Amino acid sequence: MSTKTIIEEFKKKYGTEILGEAVKNEKRVIITIKPESILNVADYLYKTAGFRFIIASALHTKKGFEIHYHFSKDDTGLILNVHVILDKEKPQIESLSNMFNASNWIEREMHELFGINFLNHPNQEKLISEGNWAEGVYPYRKEFK
């Protein structure tokens, strides 16, 4: 399946959920979606379309908190970045860890370093600094010096 057909298929299914799209080339695509549809989109990518979850990157920008979920289609070399923008004051999104274990650690890490809350996470304890880090201090936020 070529990148074009994958993207068309994706749009047909989730057209109303898409807020923006940037196709850089055959192998690099960014699609911005509504945060509330992340579970459906990830379910489709992982179970139906055969994507592998690489990792997620959280960003702290002027718009608030953003997450890029990086998915890889290994037979074509495509990296699909599913991009969501979260609330500035109370960043939260559904956890993907009930679907696949691969996102378990990175969600805990983002919770710890950025203070993003992952709803329904099976075990949102601290990953890196268990027991020796102050509560409510998020070192990867821009205001942290």
Q: Is 19 in the site for another protein (CB under 8 A)?
A: no
Decide whether 18 or 59 has the Cβ nearer to another protein.
59
Minimum CB separation of residue 28 from another protein in Å reads 6
CA distance 28 to 119: 29
Nearest to another protein of 18, 30 (CB atom): 30
Distance CA 51, CA 70 (A): 10
Q: Least distance in Å: CB of 54 to another protein?
A: 5
Given candidates 5, 12, 16, 136, which one binds another protein under the rule CB under 8 A? Answer: 136
34 near 94, Cβ under 8 Å? no
Question: How many of the other CB atoms lie within 10 Å of CB of 75?
Answer: 8
Q: Within positions 64 to 103, which residues make up the interface with another protein, using CB under 8 A?
A: 68, 70, 72, 74-77, 79, 81, 100-102
49 binds another protein (CB under 8 A): no
Question: Would you give the end-to-end CA distance of the chain in angstroms?
Answer: 47
- Between 12 and 145, name the residue whose CB sits nearer to another protein: 145
Residue 10 or 113 with smaller CB distance to another protein: 113
CA distance 24 to 105: 29
Q: Which residues, in sequence order, are CB contacts of 61 under 8 Å at separation 6+?
A: none
Cα 114 from Cα 54, distance rounded (Å): 19
Q: What is the contact surface with another protein in residues (CB under 8 A)?
A: 24, 27-28, 30, 52-55, 57-59, 61, 68, 70, 72, 74-77, 79, 81, 100-102, 104-106, 113, 127-137, 139-140, 144
